[in-house]
Amino acid sequence: MQTVQFIQVTPEQLQDAIIEGVKTQLQDLKQHFQPKEPKQYLTRQEVAKMLSVDLSTVHNWTKKGILTAHQIGGRVFYLRTDVENAIVKLKN
């Protein structure tokens, strides 16, 4: 266990220093904080329109595992982030 001694520092000065440190940390957190966005689901038609392809292409890409489909009842949806992540950068 380490002991820290404060020489020639009043309790008020120590309190002010702590408060300033906390304020600085909070400001830093505010600048870098990214709020979590809700998941956005797209229909097959929206994916086809987004990628400028036919519905059959969306279906084929789903069967090949290129796109991941989610289903509720009889409806099929795709996560926007999954669709965007399926687009790969070509190596030049």
Please state the domain extents for the chain: 41-86
- 56 in helix, strand or coil? helix
pLDDT digits (tens, 9 = 90+) for 21-77: 999 999 888 888 777 778 999 999 999 999 999 999 999 999 999 999 999 999 999
What's this model's pTM, rounded to 2 decimal places? Answer: 0.58
State how far the alpha carbon of 56 is from the alpha carbons of 15, 47, 62, 72, in Å.
66, 11, 10, 20
